[in-house]
Chains A and B, each alone.
Chain A
């Protein structure tokens, strides 16, 4: 009984906390992205080597960071769901996956649009690019698995295991530019000796990164509200089926 209450109380508490948070994260995301677009496209210098093509960085890099952070969140939520059987963690993981997949698609598409003028090719199968394609397939695989079984719990368990195994790919992506020869440039922000790019380029980069992250949080909340509502609808329908005569009254 205590466990049942625990299961009920947590989603309810989450909804109470998340609902007032939503407008703030949405407004923050809009403000950060708006300012980031201004500084990124208008009020920042072109790169001394790449010219204005470097402005693709302000969407490419934040999208890639969010694709990676999203997967870390998916793996973490899956671990919590597996170890503590926390129902909300499973809901969170399920809601993170499609958002992370979208950011991965953006990172791949904008990277390709950046690669063509700089490297002379839309695509190469090198370590960084290939490991990010694998990241996309991990996201899509998670989404497919969770819906692949009639029994919801079976799909959730399979998807959770996939999410945890796939976490191996995260350090591979991060260090792929150091471990293998690749066309992709090495890290210029997250490096031991500090960022190696101009402060005027860091500002729009961090604004866009913050904006994308807030948007990610915002979307997680919206999708978790939807998923919790869906579960409640299912529970109510099941209860109505169990008591048909009462529902007629």
Chain B
């Protein structure tokens, strides 16, 4: 597959180009994951706190 190899080689700059995109994907991916997980666990805490609260949520 010469086309794929040429694409991956990026004219000799492959290591730099793919590292840059990998770093970007990794940082953003971890940030999204951490944000979603934090929201999930905080919503669970909120549900628990509302159940045990004497002051029921006014709708």
The interface of chain A, by Cβ under 8 A from chain B, is: 37, 41-42, 46, 51-53, 55-56, 59-60, 63, 98-99, 102, 105-106, 109-110, 113-114, 116-117, 215, 219, 222-223, 225-226, 229-230, 232-233, 236-237, 239-240, 243, 246-247, 249
Contacts and interface: CB of A to CB of B under 8 A. Distances in A.
Contact of A247 (B13, B17, B53): B53
A229 B46 contact: yes
A55 B46 contact: no
A243 B54 contact: yes
A219 B11 contact: no
Nearest to B34: A98
Contacts of A37: 21
B1 interface: no
A204 to B, nearest CB: 12
Interface residues of B, number: 31
A113 B39 CA distance: 33
B2 interface: no
A63 B23 CA distance: 12
B7 A229 contact: no
Contact of A113 (B7, B16, B32, B35): B16
B47 to A, nearest CB: 9
22 contacts: A51-B11, A51-B13, A53-B16, A56-B20, A102-B27, A102-B31, A106-B23, A109-B20, A109-B23, A110-B20, A113-B19, A113-B23, A116-B16, A215-B28, A222-B35, A223-B38, A226-B35, A229-B43, A230-B42, A232-B49, A240-B52, A247-B54
Given A102-B27, A116-B16, A222-B36, 13 more contacts: A42-B7, A53-B10, A56-B17, A109-B27, A113-B16, A117-B13, A223-B35, A226-B35, A229-B43, A233-B45, A237-B49, A243-B55, A247-B53
Q: Give the dominant DSSP class at B's interface.
A: helix
Contacts of B43: 229
Contacts of B12: 51-52
Contact of A236 (B10, B11, B50): B50
A102 B12 CA distance: 28
A239 B55 contact: yes
B27 A106 contact: yes
A52 B49 contact: no
Nearest to A239: B55
A237 B49 CA distance: 7
B5 interface: no
Contacts of A239: 53-55
A110 B11 CA distance: 18
